[in-house]
Amino acid sequence: MKPSAELIAFAKRLGHDFQHPELLIQAMTHSSLSSATRGDNQRLEFLGDRVLGLAISDALYQKDTAASEGQLAPRFNALVRKETCAEIAQMISLGDALKMGRSEMISGGRRKMAILGDAMESVIGAVYLDAGFDIARALIVRLWSDHIENAADDARDAKTTLQEWAQARKLPPPNYTEMARKGPDHAPIFTIEVRLETGQSASAQAASKRAASQEAAADLLAQLESET
């Protein structure tokens, strides 16, 4: 089975010439389209997740030789989490070539964070099987280069920092409230407000409650820093 024109174009955006194109086809086939004769990308996702983890661990270890395990761990988590994988997938327009069932496609599957993140891991697994770890690692380092460079900043957990700020001043933990949700079910936008007992607050919007909460906490921390 030969890859479609969309898959060939995607492989060029990815920057890898597959010697075994059936691996690319499998990596880009969502479970909503799988059948007895055509597998999906879930096994490759499992493999790619482990390949990504090793490649990112190595990149962080080599980049900052003075960083402790306690500093490296949150950076690693920020780089391999599903949201980051989905960002990379969006960067190379992975969703445009993803093969999925009609109902999933109509519901906006090509833009769903979880689907894009899983597919990105599947593609990494396919590259690993096609060409080996060194090639897969080079591809990961290239695609994740900006994120790796900014890993220390990306790893900052604003919610934890804000809670520690409140505890240090003997205040109750910050309170997070969902103020609004808009948009279709497949692409919702959440508005989350964080408020301290002192009355200081901030709000933010994002495609997930987790992201909106983190952004709101970061905005409130910025306010607090400007007041000192």
Residues 76, 60: contact at Cβ < 8 Å? yes
pLDDT of residue 39: 75
CA distances from 1 to 22, 43, 210 (A): 7, 19, 41
Query: What is the C-alpha to C-alpha distance for residues 28 and 15, in angstroms, rounded to an integer?
Result: 15
Q: In the structure encoding, which two tokens stand for residue 106, read together?
A: 């109509």
Other Cβ atoms less than 10 A from the Cβ of 54: the count is 14
DSSP secondary structure letter of residue 192: E
Per-residue pLDDT of the chain (228 residues; tens, 9 = 90+): 788 899 999 999 999 999 999 999 999 999 888 654 567 899 999 999 999 999 999 999 999 999 888 888 888 988 998 888 988 999 999 999 999 888 888 888 788 888 899 999 999 999 999 999 999 999 999 999 999 998 876 666 788 889 889 999 999 999 999 999 998 877 789 999 999 999 999 999 988 888 889 888 888 888 888 776
Q: Three-state SS across 1-32? A: CCCCHHHHHHHHHHCCCCCCHHHHHHHCECHH
CA distance 183 to 220: 25
| Numbered ranges of CATH 1.10.1520.10 in the chain | 5-154
Q: What is the CATH number of domain 158-227?
A: 3.30.160.20
Asked whether 220 and 199 are in contact (CB, 8 A), the reply is no
Q: Give pairs for 10-15: CB < 8 Å, separation 24+.
A: 10/92, 10/93, 10/94, 10/96, 10/97, 13/92, 13/93, 14/92, 14/123, 14/127, 14/139, 15/139, 15/142
The CATH number of domain 5-154, selected from 1.10.1520.10, 1.10.10.60, 1.20.1260.10, 3.40.50.1100: 1.10.1520.10
Catalytic positions, please? 49, 121
Angle between helices 133-143 and 113-131 (to 10 degrees): 140
